[in-house]
Structure 1
Amino acid sequence: MDDNTITGEVDFDAPGAGKPCKTWYKVLGNIGTSQVPLVALHGGPGAGHDYLAALCDLYEKHGIPIVFYDQIGCGRSTHLREKMGDDSFWTFDLFVRELDNLIDHLNLRGGFYLYGSSWGGMLASYYASKSPPGLKKLILLSAPASVPLYVEGCPKLLAGLPEDVRRTLEECDRKGDHESEEFKAAAQIFMKKHVCRVDPIPEAVQRSLDNLKDDPTAYLTMQGPSEFIIVGKAFKDWEGFKFGHNIVVPTLLVNGQYDEVQDTSFEPWFHTIPKVRWVTLEGASHMSPWEAHDRFIQIGGSFLTSKIVV
């Protein structure tokens, strides 16, 4: 472990869990200094913090301490496989409660930044709209402002795939077959074009994909069987932009040119969040901090450290 890194666990009272829970976290840098730390929220749900390793240069090059953590249900935090399909348990409010618990445990109410990637961005936007004490700035990376708009745009992405891949995905969807090797192989083609275009896939990203494979409880319950089939109660009708006007901190929006979160489902943030800047990174998709790393670190670092933010 790096000398600048500490890890720990915090007890988390998850309503309805039926057992003691813990949230595992890792801190890069010293959160006791004058530099405001960044709390990073991973996607999935259930991917874990691993793929967020691309953010580490925000600390190395800009001196911003970073708090990573595995949300409940994945990675090194408490798993709840017995809650599969329990949409009364897997809610936004559950994860807000967990985030509040972690921030209080680390004594960050004096000031912190918030970063959310994909589902983590949806959660971060919801959290920020509640004006939590201490929040200074927000970065939303490839987080849909409207899931219905995201789903509406998926046919356009599927239409750009090879015909045999598209047919396989559509036929499997029609039959409700999301577990066959044929479906999984076709879904991988979609992933390589619109989720992570780095080849080979970075080890840290693969670890997050392995987390989802190992325990898909939160993902399957909240979202559904794939990136383009969303049937989970928590997600399917979610339209975060409707509370965007309540996000009062300076906000940076980032998505990729080939992102599965297309402009049509991302743009509503730009029109509803009062203090906002939007950057689309060329050549990148859903994991632009890996695909356009230097550009992302430069933009993100400047946003977080500059007094002129929008």
Structure 2
Amino acid sequence: MVKAVPAGAALMLAGCAPAANTGGGRADAPAHAAAPGLRPGVHEVQINGVRLWYRVAGRAPAGVAPVVFLHGGPGQGSTHFDELAGDPMERSLAMVYLDQRGSGRSERPPSGEYSIALLVEDLEELRQHLGVPRIGLIGHSFGALLALEYAKKYPANVSGIVFTSGLWDTPYQCRLRLQRVAELRPEAYARVAADTLARDGTRRNDCELEFQAFRTREEKAAYDTEIMYPDPAIEVRMDSVNAAHGIRNTGELGRAIFQGGLLQYRFTAFDRITMPVLVIAGWHDGAARPAGLRELASRLPNARFVEYERSGHFPYLDEPERFARETAAFFSATVAKR
């Protein structure tokens, strides 16, 4: 059930700044439709018992569905994308910047209920609230997984997917990640290379081995910066934007998703993803390595793979103009192909 929430209710959200334009002061361009849920600006709506926050901005050509950005983390929030990448996106698309439950300015559910299935239903309820038959999806990292899961259940409701630096087969992609550890930190890899079996004799997950290869959190954090940010200043900018708006990842959503089996997750319903998909990888990305994303594109019936040579895990920040240009062209072409 969807229930609109008065704008002033933003102040009721725990740990949330007052509802405001999160686009760094830029004006909201008219949205492509006059439906109340798609009016430009900040919205809050109660969906499945949780107050969700989203912002609408930009204008799309006639027939191009509004595009919902699904952030990663899990729990990262959409503010950094909105503020640092939003301007070029909004020139050609009607953008919906959504904070998933427990993320950004959206409410942390009092019940503590989180799951991939529930996040998918939140998105479907949002689509209905927007008042449109279809939405486009830009999924980043964990958000790309959500895009696939939503499209699997509601294929008729999706115009197209931009799958960016995303997760789709955790065991396989973790194996690629661990190979990167071996390349960049051979001394760290050597600590776990001979310890691949769990007590019950099964093979341990490669992401667990990656975590355990590093002796301290600081050592792991430095490595993560190296494999995700070819330009470390991008991470500093993201952190500064989130701090300025009082946004932080509480870890609540992430813990629940990992406890729900994320390390064993595999997407296999490739035949359900019949809509166009643009798979984008960053050449420098050691978190979602290009080889793994190329493999996904080869398994989808209507996908194209693109590699950004100057990008890491955040192509929309490393190469924002190219990302916006190619994304706009992709979603415009979904109209012509209908």
TM-score range, shorter chain: 0.7 to 0.9
Q: 1:190-223 CA deviation, whole Å, 9 max, x = no partner? A: 2222223333235662168778965101112323
> Compared with structure 1, are the counterparts of its residues 28 and 125 closer, same or farther at alpha carbon in structure 2 (3 Å cutoff)?
same
Partner of 1:227: none
Aligned equivalents of 2:237, 2:192: Cα separation in 1: 27
Tell me whether 1:40 sits opposite 2:69 in the alignment.
yes
Aligned equivalents of 1:49, 1:32: Cα separation in 2: 24
What does 1:54-73 align with in structure 2 at a 5 Å threshold?
54-61=84-91, 63-73=92-102
Aligned equivalents of 2:68, 2:229: Cα separation in 1: 23
C-alpha deviation, 1:80, in angstroms = 4.0
Q: Which residues of structure 1 form unaligned runs of 5+?
A: 14-19, 84-88, 224-231
> Compared with structure 1, are the counterparts of its residues 136 and 188 closer, same or farther at alpha carbon in structure 2 (3 Å cutoff)?
same
Equivalent in 189, 195, 199 of residue 222 of structure 2: 189
Tell me whether 1:114 sits opposite 2:144 in the alignment.
no
Q: Which has the larger radius of gyration?
A: 2
CA contact (8 A) 1:255 1:281 kept: yes
Q: Which shifted more, 117-126 or 284-293? A: 284-293
Q: 1:131-173 CA deviation, whole Å, 9 max, x = no partner? A: 34432111100112210101112221212335666679999x7
CA contact (8 A) 2:227 2:284 kept: yes
TM-score, normalization by structure 2: 0.73
TM-score, normalization by structure 1: 0.79
Q: Which residues of structure 2 form unaligned runs of 5+?
A: 1-20, 29-39, 196-207
Q: 1:221-269 CA deviation, whole Å, 9 max, x = no partner? A: 323xxxxxxxx333122111x1122101111000111211113432332
Partner of 2:296: 269
Q: How many residues align structurally?
A: 283
Q: 1:42-100 CA deviation, whole Å, 9 max, x = no partner? A: 00110011232344244344x211001110012111114873xxxxx432111011101
> Compared with structure 1, are the counterparts of its residues 158 and 60 closer, same or farther at alpha carbon in structure 2 (3 Å cutoff)?
same
Partner of 1:186, secondary structure, is helix
Tell me whether 1:299 sits opposite 2:323 in the alignment.
no
Q: What amino acid does structure 2 have at the position aligned with 1:254?
A: I
> Compared with structure 1, are the counterparts of its residues 112 and 152 closer, same or farther at alpha carbon in structure 2 (3 Å cutoff)?
same
CA contact (8 A) 1:112 1:134 kept: yes
Q: 1:273-295 CA deviation, whole Å, 9 max, x = no partner? A: 11110001112111111112222
C-alpha deviation, 1:120, in angstroms = 0.3
Partner of 1:201, secondary structure, is helix
What does 1:136-175 align with in structure 2 at a 5 Å threshold?
136-162=159-185
CA contact (8 A) 1:153 1:262 kept: yes
Give the % identical residues.
Answer: 20
Partner of 1:228: none
Q: 1:98-154 CA deviation, whole Å, 9 max, x = no partner? A: 101111111122x32111001000010111122344321111001122101011122
CA contact (8 A) 2:71 2:142 kept: yes
- Taking only aligned residues, the RMSD between alpha carbons, in angstroms, comes to 3.2
Tell me whether 1:22 sits opposite 2:45 in the alignment.
no
